[in-house]
Amino acid sequence: MRVVHVHRMRGIGGSERHLLVLLPALAERGLDVMFVGLDDPAWDPADFYSALHVPAVRIPAAHDFDPLLLVRMLRALDADLVHTHLVHADVYGGLAAKLRGAPLVSTKHNDDPFRTGAFRFVERGLARLTDRVIAITEALRRFTVERVGVPAAKVETIHYGLDGPPDPWGENPADAVPATARILLDVARLTTQKGIDLAVRALPSLPDDTVLVVLGDGPGRKALETLARDLGVDRRLYLPGRVPDVAAWLRRASVFVHPARWEGFGLGVLEAMLSALPVVACDVSSLPELVVDGQTGLLVPPDDSVALARAVREALQRPELGRAGKERAQGEFSVERMTSKTLALYKRVSASS
């Protein structure tokens, strides 16, 4: 079976990292897998494509609306099944798949509030073209059905899977984090969604030897740096941006902190669990499906920096939470489990088309 995955390329986040794991795993199970990237020329995707390890076709996609993209997609799609990821791929890849007569699967990766606005009517229309919709968590499945309005019979859950922290693609640069510091780590874009501001607000009430390190970049960097200065904790906040060796930071960390306001999955949380790190996260969206409160980590209410600080202090004293989290991650969120469920879905869709 020849399966083509389609995704708009604007950076490396959770959905892109998911594809870097899933596509080679599908190929190892005997599928003929190809990737079609709709590349935003404002971003250099060299890191993604060098790590992909399956054949790829790259299509320039400078604009959100471009009728020529559909023409280019039709030329690129020679598939027994098409699998799209996120909005642009759903539109251009989905229409091209239907014009080609290929079965169509779409994965939903996040519960962003924009999906419940006017765009929900577009998404409902696109769902009519789709043979099956994958939600990456049960929370996202409910969101897609109850709040977006996609028919429940079309949607099923397949969790992301990982077997370990990400492989490095280089050596991390030197940093100014004190060797004796207890590191509170997050891997996230610097956006309102990820709630890094809550972790910064928690710092003043945490021990002086704790520092917050966030791996990632985004539009919220300046606001976070200003907040840290206003609170007098600017020397305890480190924002190194994207780094080539995330696993090295996971090994240095004491606690993984992820105070997201909403979350499609939380791939960084799963990487932390596989690294045996205690996790402190907000009780929102998908995160309770990963973190069992009090057993593999601690969950706190969203937008509550006081509760977050209290949970971090507890997690620093309970390394056994990390060991239990690793056992859960290995048992419930393996690559083999994700791949097998995806293959089974492909076979059902192909058989009914």
Note the pLDDT tens digit of each residue in 321-341.
Answer: 999 999 999 999 999 999 999
Number of domains composing the chain: 2
Note the pLDDT tens digit of each residue in 170-229.
Answer: 899 999 999 999 999 999 999 999 999 999 999 999 999 999 999 999 999 999 999 999
**Confidence class of residue 119 from pLDDT cuts 50, 70 and 90?**
confident
Are 243 and 153 in a shared domain?
no
Beta bridge partners of 105: 83, 132
pLDDT at 353 over 80: no
Residue 175 covered by a domain? no
Residue 266 covered by a domain? yes
Are 107 and 130 within 8 A, CB to CB?
Answer: no
Mean pLDDT for the chain? 94
Span between the terminal Cα atoms of the chain, in Å = 14
Are 79 and 100 within 8 A, CB to CB?
Answer: yes
Are 192 and 304 in a shared domain?
yes
Residue 284 covered by a domain? yes
Residue 168 covered by a domain? no
Are 157 and 205 in a shared domain?
no
Residue 96 covered by a domain? yes
CATH number at residue 345: 3.40.50.2000
Task: Write the secondary structure of 245-312 as one string of H (helix), E (strand) and C (coil).
Answer: CHHHHHHHCCEEEECCCCCCCCHHHHHHHHCCCCEEEECCCCHHHHCCECCCEEEECCCCHHHHHHHH
Over residues 10-14, the mean pLDDT reads: 82
Domain that holds residue 270: 182-332
pTM metric for this prediction: 0.88
Are 243 and 194 in a shared domain?
yes
DSSP 84-133: EEHHHIIIIIHHHHHHHT--EEEEE----GGGGTTHHHHHHHHHHH-SEE
pLDDT at 14 over 90: no
Burial of 340 (0-12, 13-18, 19+ CB in 10 A): middle
Are 154 and 226 in a shared domain?
no
Percent of the residues in the chain that have a pLDDT greater than 90, as a whole number: 83
Residue 166 covered by a domain? no
Are 157 and 217 in a shared domain?
no
